[in-house]
Amino acid sequence: MSSNEWLAEQFEASRGHLKAVAFRILGSAGEADDAIQECWLRVSRADSGSIENLQGWMTTVLARVCLNLLRSRNSLREEALPEEMDRRAEPNVRRGDPQEEALLAESVGLALLVVLEQLNPAERVAFVLHDAFGVTFDEIARIVKRSPAATRQLASRARRRVRGGVRPRGLDLSEERQTVEAFLGALRAGDMEGLLRVLDPGVVRRADKAAEPSGIARELRGAASVAKETMAYTRVAHIAQPVVVDEAMGFIVAPHGRLRIAIRCTVRGGKITAMDVVADPAGLRKLKFGVPPD
């Protein structure tokens, strides 16, 4: 077996690991495949004979490719006209196999994929490599071209943002999460009584223009009215995920990790008193999301 054949064999053996790394960093199965192909081209041209940890080295090469792709993606977004951005509810990325992408998104967590989109490229790479794959800060520092101390700060800042930012002291979201999850559970089951149990009698549901079809009220009041309307979204509820939305509990609809709708809930005394529905891309970009605490 030639050295190139051996290297190709080792690369294929690590493909599953590399795909997991690339998908978490990029959030797209299609882009992950592109990154892996570029990684192989770079690996095949390099002198790998003296490398002890081959998979670690390939992971480093792949991470550099992913970082460049993220930076390129962000540059395209910045150059786009505001009206073009408003027409796009998701990143303009190449699609992979829909079934594979759905499985990958489910394995990572739809909420986490949405939250990761808020990080800048260096933060995302540092967070994913360190927190998900245990890569040392010394190794990550060489990828993002920062000092190890600065890289540690990148990951720490990303971790805070993933967790929903710095919350006021004493703010406990556990009760809010239980209420939101009870709401989603009742909706998924088509349980009207269950919805009414978690909705405050005076609950107010507000929605932006993009969230509701024409002819539907932008604002609804009262548990009965909100529950009746909500029952029309039983199927959608099966892909809804609880998240922190601007330091309050809520939930998102993000098929394959691509954010479509965000609902911020106000919870008092175990009841939802208000629901703010956002579907407009410009409005979604202004929200801050976080993965809810366990």
Domain CATH code at residue 232: 3.10.450.50
- On whether both 203 and 280 belong to a single domain, the answer is yes
Quick one: pLDDT at residue 211?
Answer: 83
Q: Is 167 part of any domain? A: no
Number of domains within the chain: 2
At residue 109 the predicted structure's pLDDT band, cuts being 50, 70 and 90, is: confident
136 torsion bin: left (phi>0), alpha (psi -120 to 50), beta (else): beta
How many angstroms separate the first and last alpha carbons of the chain?
50
Phi, psi (rounded to 5 degrees) for 69 = -65, -40
Residue 58 lies inside a defined structural domain of this protein = yes
Predicted confidence (pLDDT) at residue 130 exceeds the cutoff of 60: yes
> How far is Cα 71 from Cα 168, in angstroms, rounded to an integer?
33
156 and 187 housed in the same domain: no
Q: Are residues 153 and 8 in the same domain?
A: yes
- Looking at the domain assignment, is residue 168 inside a domain? no
**Residue 98 confidence class, pLDDT cut points 50, 70, 90:** low
Is 250 within a domain? yes
Looking at residue 260, its pLDDT comes to 92
Token code pair at residue 242: 């609880």
What does the pLDDT read at residue 47?
A: 83
For residue 128, give the DSSP letter.
Answer: I
Q: Are residues 10 and 156 in the same domain?
A: yes
If asked whether residues 221 and 117 sit together in one domain, one would say: no
The better pLDDT of the pair 96, 91 is held by: 96
Same domain, residue pair 15 and 157: yes
Is the confidence at residue 173, as pLDDT, over 80? yes
Query: Is the domain of 184 the same as that of 248?
Result: yes
Range of lowest pLDDT (2-16, 88-102, 218-232, 267-281): 88-102
Q: Nearest 5°: CA angle at 288, between 233 and 116? A: 90
Instruction: Note the pLDDT of residue 257.
Output: 83
Question: Is-contact 258 176, C-beta < 8 A?
Answer: no
> CA-to-CA distance for 283 and 153, rounded, in angstroms?
29
Q: Which residue, 280, 238, 232, 267, is CA-closest to 255?
A: 238
Q: Give the tens place of pLDDT for each residue, 241-286.
A: 999 999 899 999 998 888 999 999 999 999 999 999 999 999 999 9
**Do 123 and 180 share a domain, yes or no?**
no
Within 10 A of 11 (CB to CB), how many other CB atoms are there?
19
179 and 124 housed in the same domain: no
Q: Are residues 119 and 238 in the same domain?
A: no
Asked which of 162, 184, 199 is the last residue of a domain, the reply is 162
Domain boundary among 102, 137, 162: 162
Mean pLDDT of 87-94: 42
More confident of the two residues 289 and 85: 289
- How confident is the model over 248-257, as pLDDT tens digits? 999 999 988 8
Q: How far apart are CA 79 and CA 195, in angstroms?
A: 44
In the block, residue with structure tokens 């990761």:
116
Looking at the structure, do residues 20 and 154 belong to the same domain, yes or no?
yes
Give residues with Cβ within 8 angstroms of 224, minimum separation 6: 196
Give domain status of residue 144, yes or no: yes
Instruction: Note whether 117 and 231 are same-domain residues.
Output: no
Categorize the per-residue pLDDT at 170 as very low, low, confident or very high, splitting at 50, 70 and 90: very low
Query: What CATH number should be reported for the domain holding residue 17?
Result: 1.20.140
Residues of the chain with pLDDT > 90, as a percent, come to 68
> What are the backbone dihedrals phi and psi of residue 273, each rounded to the nearest 5 degrees, phi first?
-100, -20
Q: Does residue 169 lie within any of the structural domains?
A: no
Residue 31 lies in a domain: yes
Among 140, 162, 184, the domain-final residue is 162
Residue span of the structural domain in which 196 resides: 174-290
